[in-house]
Amino acid sequence: MAGIFSLDGRKALVTGANTGIGQAIAVALAGQGAQVVCAGRRACDETVSAITEAGGTATSLTLDLSDPMAAKDLFAGAGYSILVNNAGTIRRADSVDFAEEDWDAVMDVNLKGLFFTCQAFGRELMGTGTPGAVINIASLLSFQGGIRVPAYTASKHGVAGVTKILANEWAPHGITVNAIAPGYIATNNTAALREDPERSKAILDRIPAGRWGDASDIGGTAAFLASPAATYVNGAVINVDGGWLAR
């Protein structure tokens, strides 16, 4: 008998799966038996190799969500029942200097692309009567303001809101929609912070767990949210931050 955490027979799309958190999520889903399509602007060969070498099933797909409609025809007849929206981008500048083109670039990927990818996925599942799960990657900046990242902060607040409205609308169709808000995770994106002794210490001093998160911490949470164990978890934004927001 399959366990309540099993993803056997399920097909998942993970965007931004070539490295970091997206890669860890793809590996975690495959570890529970899902067939994983690893999507990114660049080839996800390293992720696919890690999965197949461990006995899982994965393929790579080029998908550039700087075009927010890039996934609009991706789901029709393709058999997906899990969607993880992890692809994202960030631009940094003081709010008084932030350029319109930078605002649009961030919003197109982080919020508009996420919404219309969800829309295409949900439309297909509702049309076929297939239950499923959407997992969006939010941020601590879905709750906080941050500094010098106005578009990113606005987009991640938006991700939390989109997650909740889709959960409300799609629950009657057996589709759960949740989000994960990662804390400070040891990835390429945080390398500069971790290499700065003062900044790293300030971060660690606030985290009750006393350590940087590992990308696998996010992967495990995503695998849970995609599984039958989480069918009554809906519209949640789950902090995976070692206690940062509780501090």
Q: Which residues contact 49 (CB under 8 A, 6 or more apart)?
A: none
Closest-CA residue to 122 (of 80, 183, 179): 80
8 A C-beta contact, residue 66 and residue 105: yes
* Residue 152 designated active-site: yes
**Cβ-contact 145, 188 below 8 angstroms:** no
- CA 13 centroid distance within chain: 11
Q: Which phi and psi (to 5°) does residue 16 adopt?
A: 65, 40
Neighbours of 135 (CB within 10 A): 29
Helix (H, G, I), strand (E, B) or coil at 106: helix
Q: Which residues does residue 62 pair with via DSSP β-bridges, in sequence order?
A: 40
Catalytic residue among 80, 152, 184, 232: 152
Helix or strand (DSSP H, E) at 58? strand 57-62
The answer to whether the CB of 30 falls within 8 A of the CB of 9 is: no
| Encoded tokens for 169 | 């609308």
Q: Maximum CA pair distance of the chain?
A: 58
Which amino acids are annotated catalytic? 152
